[in-house]
Structure 1
Amino acid sequence: MHRRTFLKSSAAGALVMATTSWPLGARTRDRIRVAMIGTGLRGQSQLGPLLSRDDVELVAICDTQQVMLDKTLAIIEKTGRRKPKVYGGNGDVRAWKALLAQKGIDAVFIVTPWEWHASMSIAAMQAGIAVGCEVVAGITLQDHWDVLRAQQRTGTPYMLLENVCYRRDVLAVLQMVRAGLFGELVHMQAGYQHDLRAVKFNSGNPNEPYGSGAEFGDKGFSEAQWRTQHSIDRNGELYPSHGIGPCAMYANIHRGNRFTHINAFASKARGLHEYIVEHPKGGANHPNAGVKFKLGDVVTTTLRCENGETILLQHDTSLPRPYSLGFRVQGTDGLWMDVNKSIHVEGKSPAHKWEQAQKYYDEYDHPLWRNYAAKAAGAGHGGMDWFVIHAFIEALKANTPMPIDIYDAVAWSAITPLSEQSIAEDYKTLAFPDFTEGKWKDRKPIFALDGRY
């Protein structure tokens, strides 16, 4: 991608434009012109929430694969919206740069494989185009510092599009935490516990993207083309933000608190090999049966916070299991766990017994869900996709800080390279970088306080 050369050559002109494009406190914008880089299955799932908004105009799209561009254009045509300008197709990996040079783009959604996120985000911010970036923010630790510095230099808005922060029960528990229901927080748990074997392998047929074969890479399709390689090359907490995002909200990370230490352990790797061998289109003699996977089937990461809380994350995507993020929020007065929708509050719950959490969800239902549940109905991931896009667009329109800002983005995502380092260095406990450089002490919680976003 020649990221450093590209950024160096474009920085001077872009910086001037960026610092004048998005001054906080400027007048409210009525309409946001957006572009999308990456129109694969994830990008296509975002079209519904985007195109349902009267205050959004989709002006450009880009992808390397023509089949994905065609599917996206068909979705847009069905809505009656104007056809956007199209970039890419036929394997063109540089087309995104031409898109960012197009005039009249206010914001870009980056919905590409992980290894492109940092480069594209930096270039967009230098072009004065606000960034809504799918998780993760970068690959290496240096990527995260580079994304942070680009945002600080340009002042261009950047938001990590972590949708689980907007899950209905997650936001209700945020209300409980801030109301003091659990007392002083002590410990939290979460993770990405999701059987992705059928995502990492398929037949390569665009009409059968999940579980249709034992192929990946050039012979695969969609996420199997790129995500599986990370399981071969890397060993760490590869997808932290679904779990750490809500926990960071609960613990007020970067707003009076911060991560101070991290370590990680990984189990042996067996699940992906077994899937290939046992798949009807795989087998012991399939070429991929000889692939060595580096990613442990279960990776356990522990963080400590400045205010004394601990957080445990687990990455578990290569073994058979039902989907679960495994949330646990525990304080001096009780705890909540999402697996069985259970809660115990001292003085309210029967002694030493769980209660069903639903009555608490109803009592502490967040204003966002009370106000917008009907609009979010039918959107991806149980409505969460609508809320995270709503948050990004509303913050841009009002020129207010992003509810999931640059410090959140890089810290949540940097858990990945730090966990890899810990495992590689014999499970060493590492100091966690302070990306805010001391600003965490004085910053105040802003996430979803007023019910708008």
Structure 2
Amino acid sequence: MKEKIKIGMIGLGGRGMGLLRLVILNMSDVEVVALCDRYEDRQTKAADKVEEKQGSRPFVTIDYQEVLSIDEIDAVIISTSWADHIDIAIASMEAGKYVATEVGGAYSVQECWRLVEAYERTKIPCMILENCCYGRDELMVLNMVKQGLFGEIVHCAGGYQHDLRDEIAYGYENRHYRLDNYINRNCENYPTHEIGPIARILDINRGNRMVSLVSMASKAKGMKEYIKNEKSHDSELAKLDFMQGDIVTTIIKCAHGETITITLDTTLPRYYSRGFTVRGTKGMYTEENQSVYIDGSHDHYQSWNKNWGNAEEFREKYEHPIWSKFLEEGVQGGHGGADWLVLADFFESVKKGTQTPLDVYDMASWMCISTLSEDSIAMGGHPIAIPDFTNGKWITRQ
């Protein structure tokens, strides 16, 4: 087992810099030796930060292939735009580098198959950095499910429900890729925050799988209204019609009969929520009011709002061991500590030379929801089959 690993980072925008500054440079077992971004100012800012923390300046380039050609690099972190994730991940596996890639949706089923085939050809692990799988609430609920508190799980729900109108509207000024996607696509473009924790609860790709979906999108009016009120001086943007529906609802059917509902809701005024909900034969959990309902223990006739927030009462018994240890050691990193935990798990796999906890089959099956939802929406909510990227191995995989 390696005591310290050397990594390269590809993509140094807001997300890449956040991971670098808040997590990676505070890890004693990781050394950043190379940085890559298409913009020189981002390169310089990141290199300065690395030099400040590590005492040595990393190699900097605009070409990610130069990062992959450095023999001493053990792993790469990809935090580029969505459209580039899979191509760079494939190139990284072919170069023999462990790879972790930020989240997003796929643009075609074919690229997901290419990702899986690259792993099966090279046997180099590839992990999707879905930090929501490491959230404190998500892991506590997973622990509850595995201990049978909710009985047999029947339905789960989640969403990416986040007012992003400002980020989208100023996409060109901030060099952010979301704007072009919202102008040109209509789909569930960011599915993995919802699907990741639910997939672990339902044993997706490890005894169960997602088999089909239907998606519907509302009309697209939120961005038009926002630009009229907040950015009317941008005449070019003001005259555009957005393709991306304000609210996209996707229903997924699983092999064992469970259903999943996920919602994309990013262009209307709202509070932040991932809407994480688990329903079973003995009870339920809902994120919306942080509450747990157990059949026989709670009265379904009473006014339920007095029980809002009662999930905290279950911490002592059901806190996930990962979070019990994390709380003792001191929570660090962004997104409430989830960024630290997901990267720590990835780096531990690199050091040990073992498979990553979230693997290439997870990445392909979660990311493909975007392109499949796009097809379903275009056909008026037509059911679409979800590929089995494991080629039948989901039945016996652990």
Task: Provide the C-alpha distance between the structure 1 equivalents of 2:327 and 2:105, rounded to a whole number of angstroms.
Answer: 28
Task: Indicate yes or no: 2:189 matched with 1:238.
Answer: yes
The number of aligned residues is 392
Amino acid in structure 2 at the alignment position of 1:321 = R
Q: How far did 1:376 drift? A: 5.9
> Tell me, what secondary structure is at the counterpart of 1:315?
strand
For the residues of structure 1 that align with 2:379 and 2:283, how far apart are their CA atoms? 36
C-alpha separation in 1, matches of 2:327 and 2:107: 34
The letter of the residue matching 2:112 is H
Query: In the superposition, relative to structure 1, how do residues 258 and 375 fare at CA in structure 2: closer, same or farther (>3 Å)?
Result: same
Q: Aligned equivalents of 1:99 and 1:351: distance in 2? A: 58
2:232 equivalent among 272, 282, 305:
282
Contact 1:376–1:386 under 8 Å retained in 2: no
In structure 2, the residue matched to 1:383 is 337
What is the match of residue 229 of structure 1? 180
**Structure 2 counterpart of 1:159:** 127
Which of 104, 121, 128 in structure 1 is aligned with 2:96?
128
Q: Pick from 290, 293, 301 the counterpart of residue 344 of structure 1.
A: 293
Contact (CA 8 Å) 2:218, 2:246: kept in 1 or not?
A: yes
Displacement, 1:193? 0.4
**What whole-Å deviation, never above 9, does each CA across 1:261-291 have from its counterpart, x for those lacking one?**
1110000000111111100x425x7221111
Corresponding position of 2:155: 187
Structure 1 runs not aligned, ≥5 long: 1-27, 89-94, 203-215, 445-453
Match of 1:141 in 2: 109
Contact 2:96/2:122 (<8 A) preserved: yes
SS of the residue corresponding to residue 35 of structure 1 reads strand
Q: Deviations over 1:38-74 (max 9, x none)?
A: 1111111111311222211111001111111122123
Letter in 2 for 1:110: I
Distance 2:5 2:395 in 1: 33
Distance 2:115 2:351 in 1: 23
One-letter identity of the residue aligned with 2:232: G
Name the amino acid aligned to 2:267: S
Using the alignment, how far apart are the partners of 1:384 and 1:308 within structure 2? 30
Which AA in structure 2 matches 1:419? S
d(CA) in 2 for partners of 1:166, 1:81? 31
Which deviates more from structure 2 when the two are superposed, residues 299-308 or residues 357-366?
Answer: 357-366
Q: CA deviation at 1:367?
A: 1.0
Q: Secondary structure at the match of 1:357?
A: helix
Provide the C-alpha distance between the structure 2 equivalents of 1:401 and 1:67, rounded to a whole number of angstroms.
35
Unaligned runs of 5+ in 2: none
The answer as to 2:18 corresponding to 1:45 is yes
| One-letter identity of the residue aligned with 2:151 | G
Q: Residue in 2 aligned with 1:320?
A: 269
Q: Residue 52 of structure 2 aligns to a residue in which SS? A: helix
> For 1:50-449, what aligned pairs fall within 5 Å after superposition?
50-88=24-62, 95-136=63-104, 138-202=106-170, 216-217=171-172, 220-223=173-176, 226-279=177-230, 281-283=231-233, 286-353=235-302, 354=304, 355=307, 356-373=310-327, 377-444=331-398
CA contact (8 A) 1:182 1:333 kept: yes
> Following TM superposition, by how much is the alpha carbon of 1:31 offset from its aligned partner in structure 2, in angstroms?
1.6
Equivalent pair of 2:8/2:34 in contact (CA under 8 Å): yes
Write the distance in 2 (CA, Å) between the matches of 1:230 and 1:373.
38
Q: Map Cα deviations across residues 113-166 of structure 1 (whole Å, 9 max, x no partner).
A: 011111111111000011100013632111101111001100001000000000
1:230-284: per-residue Cα shift (whole Å, max 9, x none)?
A: 01111110000000100111000011100111110000000111111100x425x
Shift of 1:373: 2.9
The share of aligned pairs that are identical, in percent, is: 41
1:331 positional shift: 0.3
Deviation at 1:431, TM superposition (A): 1.5
